[in-house]
Amino acid sequence: MANDRPRNILITGAAGFIASHVANRLMRYYPEHKIIVLEKLGYSSNLKNLHPSHSSPNFKFIKGDICGADFFNFILLD
Protein backbone atom coordinates (compact mmCIF):
# COMPACT_ATOMS: atom_id res chain seq x y z
CA MET A 1 0.00 0.00 0.00
CA ALA A 2 2.98 2.32 0.27
CA ASN A 3 2.74 3.27 -3.41
CA ASP A 4 -1.02 3.87 -3.37
CA ARG A 5 -2.49 7.33 -3.23
CA PRO A 6 -3.63 8.55 0.20
CA ARG A 7 -6.96 7.15 1.31
CA ASN A 8 -9.67 7.96 3.80
CA ILE A 9 -10.26 5.17 6.30
CA LEU A 10 -13.39 5.16 8.49
CA ILE A 11 -13.31 3.16 11.73
CA THR A 12 -16.51 2.80 13.75
CA GLY A 13 -16.54 2.10 17.47
CA ALA A 14 -13.02 3.48 17.56
CA ALA A 15 -12.80 4.16 21.29
CA GLY A 16 -13.25 0.47 22.03
CA PHE A 17 -10.29 -1.78 22.77
CA ILE A 18 -9.85 -3.48 19.39
CA ALA A 19 -10.81 -0.62 17.07
CA SER A 20 -8.61 1.86 18.95
CA HIS A 21 -5.61 -0.41 18.46
CA VAL A 22 -6.46 -0.70 14.76
CA ALA A 23 -6.71 3.10 14.46
CA ASN A 24 -3.42 3.69 16.29
CA ARG A 25 -1.62 1.10 14.20
CA LEU A 26 -2.95 2.52 10.93
CA MET A 27 -1.76 5.99 11.98
CA ARG A 28 1.67 4.60 12.76
CA TYR A 29 2.14 2.56 9.58
CA TYR A 30 0.20 4.71 7.08
CA PRO A 31 0.65 8.35 8.14
CA GLU A 32 -0.27 9.58 4.65
CA HIS A 33 -3.84 8.22 4.99
CA LYS A 34 -6.62 10.15 6.71
CA ILE A 35 -8.05 8.14 9.60
CA ILE A 36 -11.61 9.10 10.55
CA VAL A 37 -12.89 7.51 13.74
CA LEU A 38 -16.56 7.44 14.63
CA GLU A 39 -17.69 6.74 18.18
CA LYS A 40 -20.99 7.17 19.98
CA LEU A 41 -19.18 6.91 23.35
CA GLY A 42 -21.08 4.02 24.88
CA TYR A 43 -20.45 2.30 28.19
CA SER A 44 -17.27 0.49 27.10
CA SER A 45 -15.71 3.39 25.19
CA ASN A 46 -12.52 5.02 26.41
CA LEU A 47 -11.06 8.01 24.57
CA LYS A 48 -7.71 7.40 26.26
CA ASN A 49 -7.33 4.43 23.91
CA LEU A 50 -7.00 6.88 21.00
CA HIS A 51 -4.47 9.17 22.68
CA PRO A 52 -1.49 8.08 20.52
CA SER A 53 -3.29 9.23 17.35
CA HIS A 54 -4.76 12.55 18.54
CA SER A 55 -1.68 14.59 17.65
CA SER A 56 -1.64 13.54 14.00
CA PRO A 57 -2.99 16.04 11.44
CA ASN A 58 -4.51 13.10 9.51
CA PHE A 59 -6.62 11.95 12.47
CA LYS A 60 -10.24 13.05 12.85
CA PHE A 61 -12.56 12.09 15.72
CA ILE A 62 -16.33 12.33 15.21
CA LYS A 63 -18.79 11.72 18.02
CA GLY A 64 -21.98 10.19 16.71
CA ASP A 65 -23.94 7.11 15.75
CA ILE A 66 -23.63 5.62 12.28
CA CYS A 67 -27.29 4.52 12.31
CA GLY A 68 -28.55 7.94 11.20
CA ALA A 69 -28.58 8.42 7.41
CA ASP A 70 -28.04 12.19 7.67
CA PHE A 71 -25.04 11.69 9.90
CA PHE A 72 -23.58 9.05 7.59
CA ASN A 73 -23.99 11.38 4.58
CA PHE A 74 -22.23 14.14 6.53
CA ILE A 75 -19.24 11.87 7.08
CA LEU A 76 -19.06 10.86 3.42
CA LEU A 77 -19.25 14.45 2.18
CA ASP A 78 -16.60 15.75 4.59
- Going from N- to C-terminal start, the domains of the chain cover 8-77
**Each residue of 15-69: pLDDT tens digit?**
888 888 899 999 989 888 999 888 888 777 777 777 767 778 888 888 887 777 7
CA dist., res. 56 & res. 60, Å (int): 9
CATH classification code of 8-77: 3.40.50.720
- Whole-structure pTM value: 0.75
Helix locations, 1-78, DSSP H: 17-29, 69-77
Instruction: Tell whether the model's pLDDT for residue 3 goes beyond 70.
Output: no
Nearest Cα neighbor of 37 from 55, 51, 19 is: 19
